Amino acid sequence: GRSPRMAAIAAVTNYQPLSPPLDFTNTPAHVLFGQNVFSKSVMKDRLPKPIYKSLIKTIEAGEKLDPAIADVVASAMKDWAIEKGATHYAHVFYPLTGATAEKHDSFLSPDGNGGAVTEFSGKQLIQGEPDGSSFPTGGIRQTFEARGYTIWDVTSPAYILENPNGTTLCIPTAFVSWTGEALDKKTPVLRSMQALNAQAQRILKLFGHADDSFVASTAGPEQEYFLVDRHFYFARPDLFTAGRSLFGATPPKGQEFDDHYFGAIPERVLAFMLDSERELLKLGIPIKTRHNEVAPGQFEIAPMFESANLATDHQQLLMTTLKRVAEKYGMACLTHEKPFAGVNGSGKHVNWSLGSSSQGNLLDPGETPHENAQFLVFCAAVIRAVYLNQGLLRASVATAGNDHRLGANEAPPAIISIFLGDQLTDVFEQIKGGGANSSIAKGTLSVGVDVLPPLPKDAGDRNRTSPFAFTGNRFEFRAVGSNQSIAGPLVVMNTIIAESLDYCATKLEKAIGDDPSKLHGALQSLLTELITECEPIIFNGDGYSDAWHAEAEKRGLLNLKTTVDALPELEGPGVKEIFTKYGVLSERELESRLETYLEQYCLTISVEAKLTVEMAKTLIFPAAVRYQSQLASTCANLAAVGIEFDTDTLEKITELVKGLQDSVAVLEKSLTDPDEQSTLDHAKYFAGDVLPAMATVRKYADLLEGWVADDLWPLPTYQEMLFIK
Residues in contact with ligand ADP by the rule CB under 6 A: 218-220, 222, 289, 302-305, 349, 351-353, 361, 459, 473-474
Cβ-count burial of 208 within 10 angstroms (0-12 exposed, 13-18 middle, 19+ buried)? exposed
* Nearer residue to Mg ion within complex by CB, 156 or 223: 223
Q: Minimum CB separation from ligand ADP for residue 459, in Å?
A: 5
Which residue of 102, 153, 184, 222 would you call a contact of Mg ion, by CB under 5 A?
222
User: With CB under 5 A as the contact rule, which of the stretches 216-224, 358-366, 394-402, 701-709 interacts with Mg ion?
Assistant: 216-224
* Nearer residue to ligand ADP within complex by CB, 222 or 705: 222
CA 379/CA 395 separation, integer angstroms: 22
Q: Minimum CB separation from Mg ion for residue 477, in Å?
A: 13
* From the list Mg ion, ligand ADP, none, partner contacted by residue 459 (C-beta under 5 to 8 A by kind): ligand ADP
* From the list ligand ADP, Mg ion, none, partner contacted by residue 88 (C-beta under 5 to 8 A by kind): none
Q: Minimum CB separation from Mg ion for residue 413, in Å?
A: 18
CB neighbourhood size of 547 (10 A): 10
CA 365/CA 264 separation, integer angstroms: 36
With CB under 5 A as the rule, give the number of residues binding Mg ion.
Answer: 1
Residue 97: C-alpha distances to residues 92, 221, 391, 599 (Å): 14, 19, 21, 10
User: With CB under 5 A as the contact rule, which of the stretches 96-104, 214-222, 264-272, 693-701 interacts with Mg ion?
Assistant: 214-222
* From the list ligand ADP, Mg ion, none, partner contacted by residue 219 (C-beta under 5 to 8 A by kind): ligand ADP
CA 674/CA 694 separation, integer angstroms: 15
* Nearer residue to ligand ADP within complex by CB, 15 or 261: 261
* Residue nearest Mg ion (C-beta atom): 222
* Nearer residue to ligand ADP within complex by CB, 215 or 585: 215
Q: Minimum CB separation from ligand ADP for residue 318, in Å?
A: 11
Q: Minimum CB separation from ligand ADP for residue 153, in Å?
A: 20
Residue 415: C-alpha distances to residues 536, 656, 714 (Å): 12, 38, 40
Cβ contacts of residue 468 below 8 Å, gap of 6+?
A: 386, 393, 416, 417, 418, 419, 475, 476, 477, 478, 479
Q: Minimum CB separation from ligand ADP for residue 464, in Å?
A: 9
* From the list ligand ADP, Mg ion, none, partner contacted by residue 601 (C-beta under 5 to 8 A by kind): none
What is the DSSP annotation of 354-394? EEETTTEETTS--SSHHHHHHHHHHHHHHHHHHHHTHHHHH
* Residue nearest ligand ADP (C-beta atom): 220
Is-contact 137 183, C-beta < 8 A?
yes
* Nearer residue to ligand ADP within complex by CB, 68 or 304: 304
* Nearer residue to ligand ADP within complex by CB, 219 or 552: 219
Q: Minimum CB separation from Mg ion for residue 464, in Å?
A: 9
- Beta bridge pairs of residue 469: 419, 476
Cβ contacts of residue 235 below 8 Å, gap of 6+?
A: 4, 5, 7, 8, 715, 716
Contacts by 449-454, CB closer than 8 A, 24 or more apart: 449/369, 449/520, 450/369, 450/372, 451/367, 451/368, 451/369, 451/372, 452/365, 452/366, 452/372, 452/375, 452/376, 452/427, 453/423, 453/426, 453/427, 454/423
* Nearer residue to Mg ion within complex by CB, 152 or 475: 475
User: With CB under 5 A as the contact rule, which of the stretches 116-124, 215-223, 253-261, 368-376 interacts with Mg ion?
Assistant: 215-223
* From the list Mg ion, ligand ADP, none, partner contacted by residue 384 (C-beta under 5 to 8 A by kind): none
Nearest to 400 by CA among 690, 692, 695, 687: 687
* From the list Mg ion, ligand ADP, none, partner contacted by residue 270 (C-beta under 5 to 8 A by kind): none
Q: Minimum CB separation from ligand ADP for residue 379, in Å?
A: 13
476 binds Mg ion (CB under 5 A): no
Tell me the residue length of the chain: 725
Q: Minimum CB separation from Mg ion for residue 256, in Å?
A: 21
H-helix or E-strand spanning residue 223: strand 216-229
User: With CB under 5 A as the contact rule, which of the stretches 28-36, 218-226, 484-492, 642-650 interacts with Mg ion?
Assistant: 218-226
705 binds Mg ion (CB under 5 A): no
* Nearer residue to Mg ion within complex by CB, 222 or 599: 222
* From the list Mg ion, ligand ADP, none, partner contacted by residue 705 (C-beta under 5 to 8 A by kind): none
DSSP state of 436: T
Nearest to 81 by CA among 169, 173, 158: 169
* Nearer residue to ligand ADP within complex by CB, 395 or 490: 490
Residue 378: C-alpha distances to residues 354, 357, 453, 546 (Å): 9, 17, 17, 32
Max Cα-Cα span within the chain = 106
Q: Minimum CB separation from Mg ion for residue 223, in Å?
A: 10
- Beta bridge pairs of residue 163: 166
* From the list Mg ion, ligand ADP, none, partner contacted by residue 304 (C-beta under 5 to 8 A by kind): ligand ADP
Among the residues of 389-454, which ranges form H helices?
Answer: 390-395, 422-434
* From the list ligand ADP, Mg ion, none, partner contacted by residue 440 (C-beta under 5 to 8 A by kind): none
Q: Minimum CB separation from ligand ADP for residue 403, in Å?
A: 24
* From the list Mg ion, ligand ADP, none, partner contacted by residue 473 (C-beta under 5 to 8 A by kind): ligand ADP
* From the list Mg ion, ligand ADP, none, partner contacted by residue 218 (C-beta under 5 to 8 A by kind): ligand ADP
Nearest to 660 by CA among 689, 630, 713, 623: 623
* Nearer residue to ligand ADP within complex by CB, 486 or 609: 486
* Nearer residue to Mg ion within complex by CB, 300 or 599: 300
- Residue 61 half-sphere exposure, CB side, CA atoms within 13 Å? 12
Which residues would be at the binding site for Mg ion (CB under 5 A)?
A: 222
